[in-house]
Amino acid sequence: MDTGTHLNGRVDRAALAALRKREEAAFAARTPKSRAWLEAARASMPNGVPVAWMAGLYRHNSIVAGGGAGAFFRDIDGNRYCDFNVCDLAMTMGYGPPPIVEAVSRAVANGAHFLLAVEDTRAVTEELARRVGLPAWQFTLSASAANTEVMRIARFMTGRTKILIFDGQYHGHIEESLVTQRGNETVPIQLGLSARTAKESIIVPFNDLAAAEAALKAHEIALVITEPALTNCLLVEPKPGFIEGLGALARQYGALLCLDEAHTFQFEYGGMAGSRKLDCDFVTLGKGLGTGVSFALYGMTRAIADVMEKHLDSDIGLDIGSKGLATGGTTYGSAIAVAAAKAALEQVLTPENYARVDSLGKTLAEGLETVFRKHGLDWRAFHLGPRSGYCLKPDFPTNAEEASESMDIEMIDARRVFMANREVWDAVVSAGPQVSFAHSAEDIARYVSLADAFLAEIVR
Ligand code: PMP
């Protein structure tokens, strides 16, 4: 990445390195209890954390959470953070939102799970059908698992195996999408993945219908899957007609289209599929709809629901040849998940609250652009509903390659530790600051003023 060119030489790399060193030392000095705890925890957990990637998200030392309320959480050293990462959107309702606490507590007391539907389950699926525009829904525990089931159904329905994905995508920790292009080959991007499964995926640039058509023409693709706007390589919005064009191409060449709205459902009321009336076969929702409760869902057309009904996998099926679709899990669709989803949809994910976070997102983006101008930078601030971020160029990216020019890891990592020392927890590297349903205008102002202070130290 040629950071020098697109930053116009305005970022003083020596000043950035010095700031980072200073801030990392300050952060380490503020978090001794966390450090000792994590070191001791290594005896019972690799890297001292319950999920290894928690330790790989930042370059500065990790911390141990002590609890949270609203837009803030604290670590075990007693430091407070106003959270603009919100667990990469799994906590967009903030910490301890009363409607979710009340509904989930009641559900736990009343029986967390029965491996049966509960009366409220329908309220969730019917409301999602109304908002998103797809009639039928299934629960899983994670968006990764939802996308896995979508791929299986698409493979069964089309009799094909290949999956079309877009450069810059992330659809979860699943073999088909943890891949990258190397020469003519699609290969795994991490260790422990199947090189054979990686070959089932074809990667083309986002916003490039001609490339998508070229891939679809061989009639081998079962599923086209994309976020309606790429949110895991900062932000890439679809060009007008791109998603609609993908839908038409998928239909023309006999593939199915899934819109992965694990993130974007929280950007617009009904997700982008619902709010923009995007035609597709599946929609994936994830991250507990931002409640922090572990569940996800996927929606499907009536035709696909009919296939699921016809090909029900039955445990009392006698004949191995009559086995049905490989979906489901014992902890999926629990009463807790239903309670959280119902309370979220009825009391938090309301049109008024979406309008409020959209407006705060606009304030954040405008605030950042004012700061950029003040420092003589021709950068832009992303703004898609509550999502903002730093575009280090005068034009917004149209694909992942262009977006990568704004992914200046040194700067992002230095900024997040600078902010952490000043009570703000910034987004992970691939995202951008996210306004949550718990944030106030004061929180946004705090973020913008810290961005200003950070740039004042490194821009020359
Ligand atoms: N799809 C998208 C678009 C995502 O951003 C993510 C998580 N970042 C996932 C799927 C996977 O979600 P989970 O980790 O909850 O399975």
278, 417: one domain: no
Strand-pair partners of 417: none
Cα(166)–Cα(186) distance, rounded to whole angstroms?
12
Which among 207, 231, 228, 240 is positioned nearest to 388, based on CA atoms?
A: 231
Cα(455)–Cα(213) distance, rounded to whole angstroms?
43
Residue 142, token pair as written in the block: 């994670």
Instruction: Tell me if 446 CB under 6 Å of ligand 1.
Output: no
Residue 28 structural domain: 11-47+406-430
> Could you identify the atom of ligand 1 that is nearest to the CA of residue 284?
1
Residue 114, token pair as written in the block: 């029965």
The per-residue pLDDT for 412 is 93
Cα of 262 vs centre of ligand 1, distance in Å, is: 6
21, 159: one domain: no
Q: Which secondary structure element, helix H or strand E, spans residue 103, and what is its range?
A: helix 98-110
The per-residue pLDDT for 248 is 98
Cα(378)–Cα(78) distance, rounded to whole angstroms?
38
168, 290: one domain: yes
> Is residue 196 a contact partner of residue 208, using CB atoms and an 8 Å limit?
no
List the single range of 78-87, 133-142, 321-330 with lowest mean pLDDT.
Answer: 321-330
Q: Whose CA is nearest to atom 2 of ligand 1?
A: 171
> Could you identify the atom of ligand 1 that is nearest to the CA of residue 169?
3
40, 168: one domain: no
Region at 365 (left for phi over 0; alpha for psi -120 to 50; beta for the rest): alpha
Please provide the average confidence, as pLDDT, over all residues in the chain.
95
Cα(392)–Cα(203) distance, rounded to whole angstroms?
25
Give the CA count within 13 Å in the CB-facing half-sphere of 320.
Answer: 0
Which among 445, 451, 449 is positioned nearest to 432, based on CA atoms?
A: 451
- Indicate the SS3 state at residue 284: strand
* pLDDT band for position 58 (cuts 50, 70, 90): confident
The per-residue pLDDT for 142 is 98
* pLDDT band for position 4 (cuts 50, 70, 90): very low
Cα(373)–Cα(368) distance, rounded to whole angstroms?
9
Instruction: Tell me if 298 CB under 6 Å of ligand 1.
Output: no
Give the CA count within 13 Å in the CB-facing half-sphere of 193.
Answer: 19
The per-residue pLDDT for 5 is 43
The per-residue pLDDT for 319 is 60
Q: Whose CA is nearest to atom 14 of ligand 1?
A: 172
282, 425: one domain: no
Q: Is the pLDDT of residue 324 over 90?
A: yes
Q: 17-28 as b/e, with b when 16 or more CB fall inside 10 Å?
A: eebbeebbeebe
The CA distances from residue 128 to 12, 27, 132, 238, 256, in Å, are 49, 43, 6, 23, 20
Cα(201)–Cα(186) distance, rounded to whole angstroms?
7
271, 413: one domain: no
The per-residue pLDDT for 226 is 98
Average pLDDT over residues 148-157: 98
* In the chain, % of residues over pLDDT 90: 93
| CATH number of the domain enclosing 178 | 3.40.640.10
43, 158: one domain: no
- Indicate the SS3 state at residue 8: coil
Distance of CA 417 to the CA centre of its chain: 22
Q: Whose CA is nearest to atom 7 of ligand 1?
A: 172
327, 200: one domain: yes
The per-residue pLDDT for 301 is 98
Q: Is the pLDDT of residue 7 over 70?
A: no
List the single range of 54-68, 73-87, 223-237, 270-284 with lowest mean pLDDT.
Answer: 54-68
307, 425: one domain: no
> Is residue 260 a contact partner of residue 284, using CB atoms and an 8 Å limit?
yes
The predicted-structure confidence for 374-431, as pLDDT tens digits, reads as follows 999 999 999 999 999 999 999 999 999 999 999 999 999 999 999 999 999 999 999 9
191, 338: one domain: yes
As a dihedral over the C-alpha atoms of residue 331, residue 125, residue 97, residue 285, rounded to 10 degrees, the angle is 70
Cα(417)–Cα(24) distance, rounded to whole angstroms?
6
Asked, for residue 125, whether it belongs to a domain, the answer is: yes
183, 261: one domain: yes
DSSP-assigned letter for residue 348: I
* pLDDT band for position 265 (cuts 50, 70, 90): very high
> Could you identify the atom of ligand 1 that is nearest to the CA of residue 260?
3
Number of domains, the chain: 2
Instruction: Tell me if 387 CB under 6 Å of ligand 1.
Output: no
Asked, for residue 446, whether it belongs to a domain, the answer is: no
SS3 content of the chain, % helix, strand, coil (to 5): 45, 15, 40
The predicted-structure confidence for 341-377, as pLDDT tens digits, reads as follows 999 999 999 999 999 999 999 999 999 999 999 999 9
The per-residue pLDDT for 285 is 98
Residue 112, token pair as written in the block: 């967390």
The per-residue pLDDT for 59 is 86
Asked, for residue 338, whether it belongs to a domain, the answer is: yes
Asked, for residue 72, whether it belongs to a domain, the answer is: no
Asked, for residue 451, whether it belongs to a domain, the answer is: no
The per-residue pLDDT for 321 is 59
Average pLDDT over residues 51-72: 93
Asked, for residue 91, whether it belongs to a domain, the answer is: no
The predicted-structure confidence for 201-248, as pLDDT tens digits, reads as follows 999 999 999 999 999 999 999 999 999 999 999 999 999 999 999 999
* pLDDT band for position 8 (cuts 50, 70, 90): low
Asked, for residue 317, whether it belongs to a domain, the answer is: yes
Q: Which amino acid is at 438?
A: A
β-bridge pairing 80-83 and 424-425: parallel
The per-residue pLDDT for 314 is 79
The per-residue pLDDT for 3 is 45
* pLDDT band for position 145 (cuts 50, 70, 90): very high
Phi/psi of residue 381, nearest 5 degrees: -110, 130
Q: How many CB atoms lie within 10 A of CB 111?
A: 12
Asked, for residue 276, whether it belongs to a domain, the answer is: yes
The per-residue pLDDT for 223 is 98
Instruction: Tell me if 168 CB under 6 Å of ligand 1.
Output: no
The predicted-structure confidence for 68-79, as pLDDT tens digits, reads as follows 999 999 999 999
Q: Is the pLDDT of residue 174 over 70?
A: yes
Cα(24)–Cα(12) distance, rounded to whole angstroms?
18
Question: Among 176, 287, 297, which residue has the most ligand 1 atoms within 8 Å of its CB, making it the best to mutate?
Answer: 287
Which among 255, 226, 256 is positioned nearest to 243, based on CA atoms?
A: 226
167, 41: one domain: no
